Amino acid sequence: MKHANLEVIQQRFPHVLEMLGSVMPIAEQKEEAPVYEQLERDEIWLQAVAELMEDSKILFVYGFGQGLSIADLLERFPDRWLFIYEPDEEAFKKVISAYDISFLLNHPNLYWISVGESQLKLLFYLLCSYMQEKLAFVALRRHLENNIDILRVVREEFMEYKSDYNTNKYTENRFRKEWTRNYLYHLSETFSTPSIERMFQSFKGSSAVVVSSGPSLTEDIEWIKKLSRHSLIIAAGSSVQALIKHGINPHLSVIMDGHEVNDRIFSNPDTLKSTLFFTSSSYYGISERKENDKIHAVLKNDEISQYFLQKHKNQLLMVPTPSVAGTALQVAVRLGAEKIIFAGQDLSYPDQKVYSDGVEHFSADITKTMLDKATQTVENVQGGYNATDSSFMFMKETIEGLIQNFEQITFINSTRHGAVIEGAPFQSMEEIYDKVCHAVLEPDAIKQWMVDHPSFLNTEEINSVKDRLSFVQEDLLKVQAEIRVLRKLMGNIQQLSRTKPLKCQNMIVEIEERWGEIANREWFAPLYESLIPLELARFDRMLPTIVTEEQLPRKAGYIYEYLGTLLVDLEQNTPDLLEMVTEASKRVEGLIVKRA
């Protein structure tokens, strides 16, 4: 492999280096890679790209090839950013081994490269982060001629991803303060409770029933009581109400929702008698009320906890899902269950029913509204169709995706009137019981594991997190002052762009430096992307336009409008963030005092 290529990739695209399999230089390839791009500039293709691109500042380019067409794009369109997907890993390896293309890989407008199918979603994420209303989707000529069907599929996949991305961003915005607070306040509990990583495979070979609160649960509640002596019973969210009402104490109750309204589910003290599994996103007040018998998980999308605990997401097992059932499914897998049974997982409204008997945290008005919005239908396990909605369909797709990721595990759907779940064929509870009744599982099996494997406070780790929280507290105060200075500096940037262009240009350089000092803090992205996701996303979408704009008055106008607006948002939200960080610090400090 050409050393110059390797150096650039290591610096700019380390994810590609990871795909290549080694950070060490590979022996340079003697044989040249086959040429399948035109050596002459393809003017017809470039003209077609120009017509397709219009005013989009972002180009999604399918194919890297040998870089010849990419170089032509960068030269012809110097005010655009290129996001490139090369599907053929071996072809990319041959190119960077045969030719020195470091100058191309290091081009500032070649913003991103993803190589191989495993890196496509990462590219989608970045495209969604930076694109505005339009995105130019282009492909190298040979792909247009030979792989047009594949191109259509990739484009459709991106449009679906973009829809989910936007939904998630608005969800993040809706619950931004709750989630940020939960992430911070849960930090202290990560030291006093075992993590799901620590309990990995502790019940290897078992079966588990993931119980949701759909209407079908009512008919199988007695079977679940019988199964509790043979399988792990894992209550997903509000289903614990129904189980408790019928005298069933699950082995584990799972929570992941971050809003305070979920506290109603556990308003009955009996619902907290079972071992509690909580994610870092869950409403902190629930786990706070339960002193013992708790298990935690930091989610892979929780950048706040990862920063303060200094954990890499590759060290974490749990991925976020739109439903608590998806979280409970993962818990069962991580504990070592080899057979997972869904109960009460209707994902629809059979016979216009919303919840199982005993689930009472929503009012009649709310349930009526839910039924009114159920304008879609989904096939049920009995061969008919149930009313459902887009939210349930999204949950269904997510659960089916999780099932595909765990091929070694047997999934069964016992929900008598629920939606068909791909990968989890329907079986009645009677059949399931006959297959698992030979196994024996104690009612307090998980509690006993925790007794046998006690958690001990690690003073060194606690102090490390406390120091990090204290540092962020102090740094937030500095950031407030720096934002005020920056806002004042850019106050007359638009006027200077017309009257004193040289002074304006120098001011833009200073603004970029000062903004970089604020935004490049290690803690900045984890905390503020959680607290003001839409505001940061708005600025990110304009960044390609700001960076590539060559007309000074326009560039100054963009900076004043978009960076100026973001600075106001930061200034308005920083006091709340400072208050949360201060409270989180007190909670961690309390552990140190308790330890002493």
Residue-wise over 75-96: b if at least 16 C-beta within 10 A, else e?
eebeebbbbbbbbebebbbbbb
Q: What is the mean pLDDT of residues 166-193?
A: 82
The residues near 126 (Cβ < 8 Å, ≥ 6 apart) are: 83, 111, 112
Whole-angstrom Cα distance, residue 206 to residue 195?
A: 19
Residues paired with 62 in a beta bridge: 85, 139
pLDDT value at residue 124: 85
- DSSP-assigned letter for residue 28: P
Residue-wise over 242-280: b if at least 16 C-beta within 10 A, else e?
bbbbbebbbbbbbbbbbeeebbebbeeeebbebbbbbbb
Q: What is the mean pLDDT of residues 272-285?
A: 95
Whole-angstrom Cα distance, residue 469 to residue 477?
A: 13
- Report, in this order, helix, strand and coil percent for the chain, each rounded to 5: 55, 10, 30
Angle, nearest 10°, between helix axes 533-548 and 564-595? Answer: 130
Q: Is the pLDDT of residue 29 over 50?
A: no
Report residue 207: phi and psi, to 5°. -115, 155
Q: What is the pLDDT of residues 474-504, one digit of tens each?
A: 999 999 999 999 999 999 999 999 999 999 9
- Looking up tokens 């799972």, which residue turns up? 254
- 386, with CB counted inside 10 A (0-12, 13-18, 19+), is buried
Q: What is the pLDDT of residues 392-412, one digit of tens each?
A: 888 898 899 999 999 899 999
What the chain holds in terms of domains, given with CATH numbers, is 3-174 (3.90.190), 180-452 (no CATH), 459-595 (no CATH)
Residue 152's SS3 state is helix
The answer, as to whether pTM is greater than 0.85, is no
Q: How confident is the model at residue 71 (pLDDT cuts 50, 70, 90)?
A: very high
Q: Which two tokens stand for residue 119?
A: 């890196």
Nearest to 308 by CA among 585, 63, 562, 59: 585
Whether 494 contacts 556, CB under 8 Å = yes
